[in-house]
Amino acid sequence: MKLLIDAGNTRVKWALHDGRDWLAQGAVTHADIATLAAVWAGYPIRSVHAASVASAAVTAALEAAAPQPVQWVRSQRDGGGVRNRYRDPSEQGADRWLAVLAARELCAGDVVVACAGTALTVEALTAEGDYLGGLILPGHALMLESLARGTANLNRMPGQVVAFPQGTQDALASGAADALCGAIERMRRRLVESTGRGPAELLLTGGDAERLAPWLAAPLRIVDNLVLMGLLKMAGES
Ligand SMILES: Nc1ncnc2c1ncn2[C@@H]1O[C@H](COP(=O)(O)OP(=O)(O)O)[C@@H](O)[C@H]1O
Ligand SMILES: CC(C)(COP(=O)(O)O)[C@@H](O)C(=O)NCCC(=O)O
Ligand SMILES: [K+]
């Protein structure tokens, strides 16, 4: 049985896979990583495969909780039928590379991969397996927090997402939605323009995927734990 771990900047997501099925999964905040040791001790785990974009303290806590040595995965130049066009893959968050690898498994055609977590990342992958690159933006919570912190008047709850906001709370909610979804839709349009083909698929994952989905133009597919799926793929090949 394999333990797969995706350590993001807000939460650690994990899952167990026995070679055929996903058996268990969970998510904890950084403060609760130590509680995972007792959970994982209940399973016959043979190997542990993990990706982290979090702090050294988080990776150390995961190594302490894991029942086997952790095999840390990093972004690569090539693999799984994908060529990474990032100038320096060692600079890139492993979660981004793994989401793209998983997208390659799920979609045969051109695809935009949006991971809505602490940050929003938006990746462009062609049918030929060219991962062209991607965007990094503040995620939904960070965007609102930065406005609350950096201004005198915007520390308030967001309202409704509407076309023409006529109050501060609606303006905040709608601004965040347009920034996040606008970035995704612009990337989707650029990918279509650069390939000259029909519409690209959109895969959406991360803790805010359900929040963003209603604001995005269809068609789109929400995939839970895309990064863990990419980890499983890499673990199988290693
Ligand atoms: N149970 C939860 N705990 C924390 N954040 C959550 C939860 N459910 C949804 N979210 C949302 O998901 C975001 C974090 O998504 P996640 O994919 O876990 O991020 P990361 O990979 O950066 O750790 C938060 O900013 C929050 O808006
Ligand atoms: C962009 C990220 C902050 C996203 O992190 P997350 O929202 O998943 O916590 C992370 O992938 C990261 O730190 N990347 C390094 C820089 C890069 O990918 O170019
Ligand atoms: K992300």
Residues 160-180 pLDDT 10s: 999 999 999 999 999 999 999
Residue 238 lies in a domain: no
Q: How far is CA 157 from CA 10, 37, 46, 189, in A?
A: 20, 37, 46, 32
11 CB near ligand 1 (under 6 Å) = yes
User: Which of 18, 50, 72 is the last residue before a domain boundary?
Assistant: 72
Asked if pLDDT for residue 200 goes beyond 80, the answer is yes
Mutational pocket test of ligand 2: of 121, 135, 143, the residue with most ligand atoms within 8 Å of the beta carbon: 121
Asked if pLDDT for residue 237 goes beyond 90, the answer is no
Looking at the 3D structure of the chain, how many domains does it have? 2
Do 132 and 215 sit in the same domain of this protein? yes
Do 105 and 35 sit in the same domain of this protein? no
pLDDT digits (tens, 9 = 90+) for 30-45: 999 999 999 999 999 9
Interacting residues of 146 by C-beta distance below 8 A, sequence separation 6+: 138
pLDDT digits (tens, 9 = 90+) for 109-152: 999 999 999 999 999 999 999 999 999 999 999 999 999 999 99
* pLDDT of amino acid 238: 57
* pLDDT of amino acid 19: 95
- Work out the mean pLDDT of the chain and round it to a whole number: 97
CB-count burial class (<10 Å; 0-12, 13-18, 19+) for 164: exposed
CATH number at residue 221: 3.30.420.40
User: Which of 50, 72, 94 is the last residue before a domain boundary?
Assistant: 72
Ligand closest in space to the Cα of 10: 1
Do 45 and 87 sit in the same domain of this protein? no
Residue 178 lies in a domain: yes
Residue 236 lies in a domain: no
Mutational pocket test of ligand 1: of 4, 11, 115, 204, the residue with most ligand atoms within 8 Å of the beta carbon: 11
Do 119 and 225 sit in the same domain of this protein? yes
Do 13 and 62 sit in the same domain of this protein? yes
* pLDDT of amino acid 198: 85
What ipTM does the predicted assembly reach? 0.98
Do 82 and 16 sit in the same domain of this protein? no
Interacting residues of 121 by C-beta distance below 8 A, sequence separation 6+: 93, 95, 96, 99, 113, 114, 115, 134, 135, 136, 137
Do 136 and 204 sit in the same domain of this protein? yes
Whole-model pTM: value is: 0.97
Asked if pLDDT for residue 189 goes beyond 90, the answer is yes
Q: How far is CA 110 from CA 81, 87, 105, 171, in A?
A: 13, 21, 12, 33
Report residue 10's pLDDT band, with 50, 70 and 90 as the boundaries.
very high
Residue 43 lies in a domain: yes
206 CB near ligand 1 (under 6 Å) = yes
Do the annotations mark residue 8 as ligand-binding?
Answer: yes
What number is the average pLDDT over the span 226-231? 98
Indicate which residues carry an active-site annotation.
95
139 CB near ligand 1 (under 6 Å) = yes
Report residue 84's pLDDT band, with 50, 70 and 90 as the boundaries.
very high
* Domain that includes residue 220, residue range: 78-231
* pLDDT of amino acid 218: 82
Do 128 and 46 sit in the same domain of this protein? no
Do 13 and 113 sit in the same domain of this protein? no
